[in-house]
Amino acid sequence: MNLRRGFAWCGLIMLLALLVAPARVHAQGSAPDPLRDVAYDQRLDSQVPLDLPFVDEQGHKVALGDYFGKQPVVLQLSYYECPMLCSLVRQGMLDALKDVTLSAGTDFQVVNVSIDPLETSMMAANAKAAAMARYGRDNAADGMHFLTGTQDAIDQLARAVGFRYVYDASIDQYAHAAGIVVLTPTGLVSRYFFGVTFNASDLRLGVVEASGNKIGGMTDQLLLLCYHYDPKTGSYTGLVMTITRVAGGLTVFGIIALIVLLTRGSGPRRRIFDF
């Protein structure tokens, strides 16, 4: 009798295993693919929701809109316990900002938002301290903000700026794109800059342009006339050089066309006098 019960239990366990196996395979098949799901979808001129609730590095409840209104905002989405990529992007951003005369707090705001809802204000405070030491400018603390928030608030902000990321449970890390976003004082997406290092001149032009030309000097205004933003590369390219090349090509084409027309129009000359 005990032997029969043993066989019955074995059969029941095997049946449950067969029923569960397809579901497990399906779950694995539907797992997010970092190569497919990690990117920056450029959403220029889209509005970020300024009423999103967050918590700053001091543990105070804030709204995203608290950092908008008067100055453009340089935004980084990352997480503070990231072992590699996030800190590299932040260092690259700070190094580029150090090379421009514009200053955080005076001319623009820097806002870091953690994409990990489990991170704490203490982690944000440590990240801010490291950033301030690297930036090395006095009175910049009021221009740099490190926030944490709920998953819902994070997702809404990420969708607004086109930031796609996934959590990889196998390594307990987030897979995400590398870059920063510049927004206007009203919260419109103005410019994207990709990678872990950034050209200081490009970043300065992006901040000046996002401000509606309210900051910067005459040189910046002239450079903005001579350069245009290329969304494919996330950088500024020389508009004057492009125009010069196009004009040169048109000139060469015109000369060739003129030669062809003159060649076709020429023929044996008639004799004016016949002796």
pLDDT digits (tens, 9 = 90+) for 127-153: 999 999 999 998 899 999 999 999 999
- The span from the CA of 207 to the CA of 19, in Å, is 57
Q: Is residue 22 part of a domain?
A: no
Q: Which of 115, 191, 105 is nearest to 155 (CA)?
A: 115
Counted domains in the chain:
1
The answer to whether the beta carbons of residues 121 and 59 sit under 8 Å apart is yes
Q: Is residue 200 part of a domain?
A: yes
Q: Which of 65, 143, 67 is nearest to 103 (CA)?
A: 143
Q: How confident is the model at residue 249 (pLDDT cuts 50, 70, 90)?
A: low
Residue type, 100: V
Q: Is residue 106 part of a domain?
A: yes
* Domain carrying residue 69: 36-215
What is this structure's pTM?
0.70
- What is the DSSP code (8-state) at residue 178? -
- The span from the CA of 44 to the CA of 190, in Å, is 6
Question: Which of 27-36, 67-76, 133-142, 202-211 has the weakest average pLDDT?
Answer: 27-36
Q: Is residue 27 part of a domain?
A: no
Q: Is residue 180 part of a domain?
A: yes
Q: Is residue 254 part of a domain?
A: no
Mean pLDDT of the chain: 79
pLDDT at 225: 52
Structure tokens at 14: 């095997």
Q: Is residue 87 part of a domain?
A: yes
- The span from the CA of 208 to the CA of 216, in Å, is 6
Q: Is residue 132 part of a domain?
A: yes
pLDDT at 267: 54
Residues above pLDDT 70, as percent of the chain? 65
- The span from the CA of 145 to the CA of 56, in Å, is 7
CATH number at residue 200: 3.40.30.10
